[in-house]
Amino acid sequence: MEASSATDLEVSGSRGAVMVRRWDPEGDPGHVVLLAHGYGEHSGRYEHVASRLTADGAVVYAPDHYGHGRSDGERAVVDSIEDMAGDLAAVEALAREAHPSVPFVLIGHSLGGLISTRFVQTRESELAALVLSGPVVAGNPKILPLMEMDPIPEVPIDPASLSRDPAVGEAYAADPLIFHGPFARKTLEEIGAAIQRVAEGPGLGALPTLWIHGELDSLAPYGVTLEAMGHLRGEATEEKVYPGAMHEIFNETNSDEVLDDVSAFLARILRRGAG
């Protein structure tokens, strides 16, 4: 199933213009999904995810974080997760103005999972559900220590670490909107500081949350993420680990299974909220 063509929107963000893709369902939406992408990439890579979500009746709002994709800002420099969460709040406000009476769901992948976690920890947004996909809420012992080196080695993300499907890595390497360079020191420092803020912040409490993760994720390793989720996990948190899967579980060889699980979770939570 193909998504309808995305509508391009723009909001004023912390570093200038934030570009937003919106995918619409057929008919009036039953709920809104805010979608936060990962480090170095852009929201256009989630068209197949939007296809499934819109088929389920959602309207999807997916911003390019500042410094990413078509948004303003220095390329792939993440110097404030809090500002990125604030930009996401600006997108939420735009969507709530257009859809004032439907439930809102937040889906965050990788760095977007860290942004989404801070979004939830630092504001009173009335979300119906949260989905965290391979969230960077714990330190990667092979990446964060790079900030201690001078100069920082040029260690970009390896496209082969994303999925068992080689076509995913090939498309990633050829995508001009993706940042293919090394990590900036500011980025590593801020991700490390934000992970600490997550650890010091509140848990997810009663917010219905689905945490999904690839067993062989090397970018957000499952083991250290599991420790961090021990603090975050609330009474309404569910989780599923996919054996053999790598980091981009929405782009994995079993992506249909992953999308089925997300769809079923949201349908159950939204049905409960409507009852």
Q: Assess whether 37 carries a catalytic annotation.
A: no
pLDDT digits (tens, 9 = 90+) for 39-88: 999 999 999 999 999 999 999 999 999 999 999 999 999 999 999 999 99
Q: How far apart are CA 150 and CA 262, in angstroms?
A: 42
Catalytic residue among 79, 247, 255, 261: 247
- Residue 251 pLDDT > 80, yes or no? yes
Q: Considering the chain, what is the average pLDDT of its residues?
A: 95
Banded model confidence at residue 2, pLDDT cuts 50, 70, 90: very low
- Residue 230 pLDDT > 90, yes or no? yes
Catalytic residue among 56, 64, 79, 217: 217
DSSP secondary structure of 224-269: HHHHHHHHH--TTEEEEEETT--S-GGGSTTHHHHHHHHHHHHHHH
| Predicted local confidence at residue 188, as pLDDT | 93
Q: What is the model's pTM?
A: 0.96
| Predicted local confidence at residue 4, as pLDDT | 63
Beta bridge partners of 109: 133
pLDDT digits (tens, 9 = 90+) for 92-150: 999 999 999 999 999 999 999 999 999 999 998 799 999 999 999 998 887 887 888 77
- Residue 3 pLDDT > 60, yes or no? no
CA distances for 180 relative to 76, 124, 173, 250, angstroms? 9, 35, 7, 20
DSSP state for residue 36 in the 8-state scheme? E
pLDDT digits (tens, 9 = 90+) for 150-192: 778 787 899 999 999 999 999 999 999 999 998 999 999 999 9
Q: Assess whether 87 carries a catalytic annotation.
A: no
Q: How far apart are CA 38 and CA 250, in angstroms?
A: 12
Catalytic residue among 110, 133, 163, 255: 110
CA 59 to chain centre: 16
| Predicted local confidence at residue 211, as pLDDT | 98
Mean of the pLDDT values across residues 234-250? 98
Q: How far apart are CA 2 and CA 4, in angstroms?
A: 7
Q: Which residue has the tokens 């050829």?
A: 174
- Residue 1 pLDDT > 50, yes or no? no
Domains, in order of start, for the chain: 7-274 (3.40.50.1820)
Q: How far apart are CA 230 and CA 120, in angstroms?
A: 17
**238 or 272, greater pLDDT:** 238
Q: Assess whether 217 carries a catalytic annotation.
A: yes
| Predicted local confidence at residue 178, as pLDDT | 98
